[in-house]
Amino acid sequence: MRSVSFVNSLKLKVNGKVKQGCIALGDVDGDGCSELVVADEGGLVQIYKGSSAKPWWKSSNFINVGCVVVAVVCNEGRKSVVVFGIDGSYSIIDFNQRGGAVPAAIRSDWVLPNIMNVVVGDLDCDGLNEVVACHSDHCVSAYRWNVKHKRLVRLQRWKLRHLAGNISVHVGSDEGVPSIIVSQPGCSYAVLLINWNQNDTNKSDETMATVKYTPLSSQSRSQNPTITCQILGDITKSSSSPAGYFALCTLDGTIKLMEDDEILWSFQVDHQLFALHKLDILGDKREEVIVCARDGLTYIVDHDRNVVRYQFPDNVQDHPCLVYSDFHNHIWLFYDVRLPFLKATDLVTLAESDREMTQLFAQLGAATLEEKRGLLGKCTKIFHQDAKLDRKVEVVPEHPAEMKP
């Protein structure tokens, strides 16, 4: 497995530990550039902008933050920062109306408590975004912003058999219809079916909620049915299709890529995997799977199961995806993470892809793989010998008078 290194980074100081879900990236002020939002265990929320290590905005008026999200929540066409507390409180911070580091409005209200993960999207294709919250007590709830009452109104609540790891939105068909998927222990997941009445947003009968469970079994080893699991949907597989893949990872080191109910590939590593994200790291309009272990080891996997790994030099406390939070109250933001390829290759393969090297092989009569490898080996040996000679060359002055004792 090939290892890579990322150099360009920012090191940001925070006051306490950062929970999973308390790091978010998004354009909070409408300038076309993403900002980094971080909330620590002490209730301090900070927003970092550009390459500055000092917070652009911060506030300590929050208690027991469960997660933060940057999204279009109020359906007004602009993104806001939403801070959810474990006690069920939430605050919507809007910077777009006024500009600068002073928010135009901070709206606060209450929803169901124990929120640990939130996703936002137009789930019923009505042109309005919904907020779906994953709770730590077997429940998932959906909300929509009510313009008249200026608050989030609950639409539906789902009750799960087991504790949920996290939730994600996934588009699995070419029709572009999204669905809500939630991870379950043992590398399994459930699909939450939507049945809320758009004309009566205050109605949320839990008995009407439908959950479709989909257990999965590993192809190579038996799966621990109690192991925690993370899920990530809507992984772009091409620029021409709205349908995508989804991935799962478990704390015992299993990684799976799925298409509908089919396992495309599955493999294991000897690390505790706890965080999952996606990123087009090759720039080919396809998103790679980013998986992070607790010791900082990060795996980058493409759709063909080519893998590279990056070792973050510290134990990781929270959200990966090239934004790391360690146990020493620091946030590390790696902002230049492009890779030319993931598939491992050798010098002969690279030489065969070059037109001049192909012509040189033909001129020198190197036809077989061994002949090409031997020719490249001789070139490499000559190069090293020339480099050693260059280091031994001494510059002698033209006139002896210029020499100093």
pLDDT digits (tens, 9 = 90+) for 192-216: 999 886 555 444 455 445 899 987 7
What residues have CB less than 8 Å from 366, skipping those under 6 apart? 372, 374, 375
Domain contains 370: yes
Whether the CB-CB separation of 111 and 88 falls below 8 Å is answered with: yes
For residue 20, give both structure tokens.
């999973």
Domain contains 365: yes
User: Long-range contacts: 196-199, Cβ < 8 Å, 24+?
Assistant: 196/124, 196/142, 196/155, 196/156, 198/124, 198/126
pLDDT value at residue 403 = 38
Q: Whole-prediction pTM value?
A: 0.77
Report the range of poorest mean pLDDT among 83-97, 235-249, 306-320. 306-320
What residues have CB less than 8 Å from 360, skipping those under 6 apart? none
Domain contains 292: no
Domain contains 368: yes
- Give the pLDDT band of residue 222 (cuts 50, 70, 90): low
Domain contains 214: no
Domain contains 131: no
Q: Where are the beta strands (DSSP E) in 64-208?
A: 65-71, 80-85, 89-94, 105-110, 115-121, 130-135, 139-146, 151-159, 167-171, 178-184, 188-193
Residues facing 258 on adjacent strands: 246, 263
Range of the domain at 357: 348-393
Burial of 361-372, coded b for 16+ CB within 10 Å and e otherwise, reads beeeebeeeeeb
Burial of 35-64, coded b for 16+ CB within 10 Å and e otherwise, reads bbbbbbeebbbbbbbeeeeebbbebeebee
Domain contains 388: yes
Angle at Cα 174 formed by Cα 169 and Cα 195, nearest 5°? 50
- Give the pLDDT band of residue 375 (cuts 50, 70, 90): confident
Calpha distance 280→181 (Å, rounded): 22
pLDDT in tens, 378-391: 776 555 555 444 54
Give the total number of structural domains in the chain. Answer: 1
Domain contains 385: yes
Whether the CB-CB separation of 256 and 247 falls below 8 Å is answered with: yes
Calpha distance 353→355 (Å, rounded): 7
> Is it the case that residue 3 has pLDDT exceeding 50?
yes
Whether the CB-CB separation of 118 and 103 falls below 8 Å is answered with: no
